[in-house]
Structure 1
Amino acid sequence: MSTQSPQRPESPGLRMGRPFGIPVYVSPTWLIVAAFITYTFQPMVAMELPDRDTLVTYLVAFVFAVFLYVSVLLHELAHCVVARYFGLPVKRITLYLLGGVSEIEREPETPAREFSVAFAGPLLSLGLAAVGFFASDLFPVGTIPHVLVWQLWISNLIVGVFNMLPGLPLDGGRMLRAGVWKLTRDSGKGTLAAAWFGRGLAVVLVLYALAAPAMTGQGTSWSLLLWSVLLASFIWIGASQSLRVARVRARMPQLQARALARRAIPVTPEVPLAEALRRREQAQAGAMVVVDHEGDPIAIVNEAAVTATPEQRRPWVTVGSLARTLEPSLVLPADLSGEALIDAMRGAPSGEYLLVERDGGGVYGVLVTADVNRVFSGV
């Protein structure tokens, strides 16, 4: 399966290389599906290669599993190459249990670019399927190369067609999102439509697996049921995540640094915490900025550290010991809003940021991360 995600764990697995400068990782979960593919594919290999012993057929089945994931890697690389052509940063590709994920760190700016990035993967898979279809005739039937090439073109056809189904998080869902976005000029509506289509696809997959025995007159295929449930879970979870993202984006207009800022009072580093809190309460402020003896800000008092300090120790603890030095990345313009504000905070994670006026008008206040998070609480 193919999807695109902006955030994944920092240790995704074993690093395999950097094609086109894009790091590629293989998750340990790949071994699970490789073993499963080898086990389920071996009987078909044995039928196609009746003169080969069991060990050879298992090796051929395993080689097929490896080749299949190479096809998935090429599918993901197609997404990433087109994304980078449009100037979108690509963090990495991870191959995992159900396929691959391209970690593109920013959304395309237009519906046309969204469609192009999404369509690149299925287009390459269908192209590989076409090449494999014609190449399979080059090898005699009943040989190992013929078995591998024939199965690979079938697999790439399935990957290409399946990924074009119109529901997030599949590529077809992103193409549908681009279409709705183009028609409505609202990317949020596109996401909602494609995500609900994705949930519908997940339900249809499970219903099909349950109804297949009655339609075919055969017994329950446990491998079909297992794969259907796995794929349906993947699609449902991805679609649900997309719905949450859409709700987050809907609240972006409320995210304005100036509106969320807390009024701050200046204190020098040696002031006891108890005294600084008294001054803050008297001034009805919500934050404290540590300044030098010339009045220039040099640090921000960490609110979490203040809360964690027992009340009986506060007269003996200085505010300077509970403050984070003001690095340039912690000083933000007070007029930041929306995704620009989120990007600035993501670039330098902190509990507090100093807001200043762009025109050199001085300190406006302090932006506390917890206040930003409350904007999205309940999403």
Structure 2
Amino acid sequence: MSRSSTSPKWAWKIGSIRGIPLRIHATFPLVLLWAAWEWGRNGSLHTALYGMALVVALFGCVVLHELGHAFVARWRGIVVEEILLLPLGGLAQFRSPLDNPRDEFLVAVAGPLVNLALIGVLLPPTLVPLVSLTQFGLINALTTPGWQSLAFYLLLTNALLAGFNLLPIFPMDGGRMLRATLTAGLSYERATWVAVRLGQSVAVLMGLYGFFQNLWFLLMGVFLFFAAEQEMRRLAQRQLLDTAHVGNHMTRRGLTFAPSTHVHSAYLVARMSLQPIWPVVERGRLLGLVSRAAIEKAAASASRIADIMQTSYPVLTPRDTLYRAQTLLAESNSEAAAVIENGVFVGIFSVYDLMHALRQLEETPA
């Protein structure tokens, strides 16, 4: 799966792949303990360790699946924040939403294609041993510790990962591919509604089956249902932000600093002001932006504002929608953007302005 989101607090970085952080959720070790219990309760320490090895191999395939999403996203110019491993699977997380249907389809389909490629790699060298192994039954083939059963397990795992992710259940890959395809004939909003409601219907059926038969299906059904509902809330917020414009919610210049201002003097001003971002202006020309955090960090130094200001920043116009502003701030990983009209600096728009505007819009009757 893939999504745009921030990482949970209870997640730890365990490494990085091509500059993409790999993190595991704090609950992930519970999966290893469960595997050790399931495999070791009727066997030995050896079988318990083998069960844990199977889970590690499974999540190795999940990581490769998510890397498929991540590398295609990078190819499409999308910033990949991290890959997060959860007990129920993995998430490739992006800095901003995949609003372009072509990008969403290509990124979504890449994951299952990786699993199909792994099947193609694993099948030829293991086909003959597996034929003899499965003569004793599928269960024995999966539960007998050894390299041959491990190979069979990996084949089955990748087939299930590809098949399950291709189901039209939003936010699984198949659900995202469905939405991207539907936008050819429907609006983005209507395509999202169809994909989400279809996915939630399947999630309910999955949960009902799991309630009577299998706890894993119940947990997955509940997770998918609420993950799809979260997308509907994101869409509602997007529609709300698309109705308002930067010019009505920006900070119109406010207090400014000159580049020669000493940081300590700026710190004293910042302590008495609620303004989170300050333009750095000289002779009416915008030179950069400086944040409260940057001022507080350098307060004890003898620096000047010119030494700590941010000279590279996103630019908006008063006519841009708030959704455009939200997306630009996320893509640039910036706290604020300069608002320029006809080449003239007229104000700043920060994440704080965005949050304040969103609260106002949500409180305003439709």
TM-score by length of 1: 0.70
Q: Hey, what's the Cα distance between the residues in 1 that align with 2:280 and 2:128?
A: 77
The equivalent residue for 1:33 is: 31
Map Cα deviations across residues 15-61 of structure 1 (whole Å, 9 max, x no partner). Answer: 2232x332212222221112223333457xx7xxxxxx611111111
The equivalent residue for 1:254 is: 243
| 1:372 corresponds to 2:361 | no
The letter of the residue matching 2:358 is N
The equivalent residue for 1:317 is: none
Q: Hey, what's the Cα distance between the residues in 2 that align with 1:291 and 1:122?
A: 49
Q: Hey, what's the Cα distance between the residues in 2 that align with 1:373 and 1:366?
A: 13
The equivalent residue for 2:14 is: 15
| 1:138 corresponds to 2:166 | no
Q: Hey, what's the Cα distance between the residues in 2 that align with 1:255 and 1:227?
A: 43
The equivalent residue for 1:215 is: none
| Partner SS for 1:166 | coil
The letter of the residue matching 1:138 is P
Number of aligned pairs?
321
| Partner SS for 1:165 | coil
| Partner SS for 1:182 | coil
Q: Hey, what's the Cα distance between the residues in 2 that align with 1:191 and 1:331?
A: 30
Q: CA 1:37/1:375 → structure 2, altered by over 3 Å: closer, same or farther?
A: farther
Q: Hey, what's the Cα distance between the residues in 2 that align with 1:77 and 1:290?
A: 40
Q: CA 1:128/1:295 → structure 2, altered by over 3 Å: closer, same or farther?
A: closer
**In the TM superposition, what are the counterparts of 1:150-169 in structure 2 within 5 Å?**
150-169=152-171
| Partner SS for 2:77 | coil
The structure number with the bigger radius of gyration is: 1
**In the TM superposition, what are the counterparts of 1:1-379 in structure 2 within 5 Å?**
2-9=1-8, 12-18=11-17, 20-42=18-40, 54-108=44-98, 110-134=100-124, 135=126, 137-138=128-129, 141=133, 144-184=146-186, 186-210=187-211, 212=213, 224=214, 226-261=215-250, 329=313, 333-346=317-330, 347-349=333-335, 355-360=339-344, 363=346, 368-374=353-359, 377=362
Asked if 2 retains the 8 angstrom alpha-carbon contact of 1:331 and 1:356, the reply is: yes
Q: CA 1:359/1:204 → structure 2, altered by over 3 Å: closer, same or farther?
A: same
The letter of the residue matching 2:240 is R
Q: Hey, what's the Cα distance between the residues in 2 that align with 1:132 and 1:211?
A: 35
Q: CA 1:330/1:68 → structure 2, altered by over 3 Å: closer, same or farther?
A: closer
Map Cα deviations across residues 135-185 of structure 1 (whole Å, 9 max, x no partner). Answer: 25336635611221122222222222111111211111101111111222x
Q: Hey, what's the Cα distance between the residues in 1 that align with 2:102 and 2:280?
A: 50
Asked if 1 retains the 8 angstrom alpha-carbon contact of 2:115 and 2:159, the reply is: yes
The letter of the residue matching 2:189 is G
| Partner SS for 2:171 | coil
Q: CA 1:143/1:345 → structure 2, altered by over 3 Å: closer, same or farther?
A: closer
Asked if 2 retains the 8 angstrom alpha-carbon contact of 1:30 and 1:97, the reply is: yes
Q: Hey, what's the Cα distance between the residues in 2 that align with 1:178 and 1:170?
A: 13
Asked if 1 retains the 8 angstrom alpha-carbon contact of 2:175 and 2:199, the reply is: yes
Q: Hey, what's the Cα distance between the residues in 2 that align with 1:296 and 1:265?
A: 14
Q: Hey, what's the Cα distance between the residues in 2 that align with 1:150 and 1:293?
A: 69
| Partner SS for 2:185 | helix
Asked if 2 retains the 8 angstrom alpha-carbon contact of 1:130 and 1:153, the reply is: no
Structure 1: tracts of 5 or more residues without a match: 47-52, 213-223, 278-288, 303-324
Map Cα deviations across residues 167-210 of structure 1 (whole Å, 9 max, x no partner). Answer: 211111101111111222x2222222211122112210122234
Q: Hey, what's the Cα distance between the residues in 2 that align with 1:123 and 1:364?
A: 47
Asked if 2 retains the 8 angstrom alpha-carbon contact of 1:258 and 1:335, the reply is: yes
The letter of the residue matching 1:201 is V
TM-score by length of 2: 0.72
Asked if 1 retains the 8 angstrom alpha-carbon contact of 2:252 and 2:346, the reply is: no
Distance apart, 1:80 and its partner CA: 1.0
Q: CA 1:372/1:330 → structure 2, altered by over 3 Å: closer, same or farther?
A: farther
The letter of the residue matching 2:217 is S
Distance apart, 1:244 and its partner CA: 0.8
Distance apart, 1:331 and its partner CA: 7.8
Asked if 2 retains the 8 angstrom alpha-carbon contact of 1:266 and 1:291, the reply is: no
The letter of the residue matching 2:324 is A
Structure 2: tracts of 5 or more residues without a match: 134-143, 292-307
Identity %: 25
Q: CA 1:370/1:27 → structure 2, altered by over 3 Å: closer, same or farther?
A: closer
Q: Hey, what's the Cα distance between the residues in 1 that align with 2:58 and 2:97?
A: 28
| Partner SS for 2:182 | helix
Q: Hey, what's the Cα distance between the residues in 1 that align with 2:15 and 2:92?
A: 15
The letter of the residue matching 1:72 is V
Q: CA 1:211/1:66 → structure 2, altered by over 3 Å: closer, same or farther?
A: closer
